[in-house]
């Protein structure tokens, strides 16, 4: 299990300090949302947040999720900023394979994000090209939403698609992650859990302890020792 906390949940006045706390909690991935105010009705994080994080913490995997109307515009700048994963929404371009190839040509791993209203089967033509699929379990654009009904069934279908093609892309689950649905998601094939306020942020003992506790609970569950 990879814990990839979404820094959209950080306190903007303490974001550097909180990222340090996450890393002390054994976090290796950081999920970085970029929103343009068009694809989703919200603006979030300037692009240079990626460069700032990578300069301060070069070892961290920058897991960048673009909620933008023209993801092609971001490839060069995010590659130069040190992004490791570049994930775009399936419906944000008519030329997914071209974009995936461009992302990979710049040394990044390519991911596609699928919204709750989109059929899992629509990913099938892209399977040979993908490094990552982000399964949205909330409507994109805002942190703190509840995990949507039917999401686990969609995760099972996505994992079945991966197995059908013997593909190697990672599956990431994004939205409303809590302890019960984390356990269920791992059992159904998830590799990455994008964590937020229900597991990591706003916890009484702070970010570091919350991350360590979550990782320990997921490890015990995978070994059959958790309820």
Give the tens place of pLDDT for each residue, 8-37. 999 999 999 999 999 999 999 999 999 999
Clarify whether 191 is annotated catalytic. no
Residue 40 has pLDDT above 50, yes or no: yes
Average pLDDT for the chain: 96
Establish whether 33 is a catalytic residue.
yes
Annotated catalytic residue within 36, 63, 131, 174: 174
Which band of pLDDT confidence, cut at 50, 70 and 90, is reported for residue 200? very high
What pLDDT is recorded for position 141? 85
**Residue 214: band (very low, low, confident or very high) from pLDDT cuts 50, 70, 90:** very high
Taking the C-alpha atoms of residue 18 and residue 208, their distance in angstroms, rounded to an integer, is 9
The answer to whether residues 176 and 198 touch, using CB atoms and an 8 Å cutoff, is yes
Q: Which residues contact 169 (CB under 8 A, 6 or more apart)?
A: 111, 127, 130, 131, 132, 133, 162
Which of 33, 36, 63, 131 is flagged as catalytic?
A: 33
With bands split at pLDDT 50, 70 and 90, how would you rate the model's confidence at 152?
very high
Q: Strand 170-174: give its sheet, edge to edge.
A: 2-3, 192-194, 170-174, 132-136, 109-114, 85-89, 61-67, 29-36, 43-44
101 pLDDT more than 70 = yes
Give the pLDDT score at 56: 98
- 2-221 CATH choice from 1.25.40.10, 3.40.50.720, 3.20.20.70, 3.40.50.10140: 3.20.20.70
pLDDT band at 227 (very low <50, low <70, confident <90, very high): very low
pLDDT at 157 > cutoff 50:
yes
Using alpha carbons, select from 95, 99, 94, 64 the residue that is nearest to residue 78. Answer: 64
- pLDDT given for residue 224 in this prediction: 64
- Residue 14 has φ and ψ, to the nearest 5°, of -135, 25
Rg of the chain (C-alpha set): 16
């Amino acid at each position: 299990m990879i814990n990839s906390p979404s820094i959209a949940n950080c306190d903007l006045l303490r974001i550097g300090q909180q990222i340090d706390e996450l890393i002390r909690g054994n976090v290796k991935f950081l999920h970085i949302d970029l929103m343009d105010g068009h694809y989703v009705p919200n603006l979030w994080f300037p692009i240079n947040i990626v460069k700032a994080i990578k300069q301060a913490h070069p070892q961290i995997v920058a897991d960048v999720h673009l909620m933008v109307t023209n993801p092609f515009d971001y490839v060069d700048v995010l590659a130069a900023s040190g992004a490791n994963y570049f994930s775009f929404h399936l419906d944000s371009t008519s030329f997914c394979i071209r974009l995936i190839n461009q992302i990979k040509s710049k040394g990044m791993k390519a991911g596609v994000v699928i919204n709750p209203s989109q059929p899992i089967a629509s990913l099938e033509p892209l399977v040979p090209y993908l490094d990552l699929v982000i399964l949205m379990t909330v409507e994109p654009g805002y942190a703190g939403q509840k995990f949507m009904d039917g999401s686990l069934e969609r995760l099972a279908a996505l994992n079945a698609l991966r197995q059908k093609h013997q593909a190697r892309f990672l599956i990431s689950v994004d939205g409303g992650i809590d302890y019960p649905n984390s356990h269920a998601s791992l059992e159904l094939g998830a590799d990455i859990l994008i964590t937020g306020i229900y597991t990591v942020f706003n916890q009484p003992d702070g970010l570091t302890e919350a991350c360590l506790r979550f990782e320990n609970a997921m490890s015990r569950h995978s070994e059959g020792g958790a309820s």
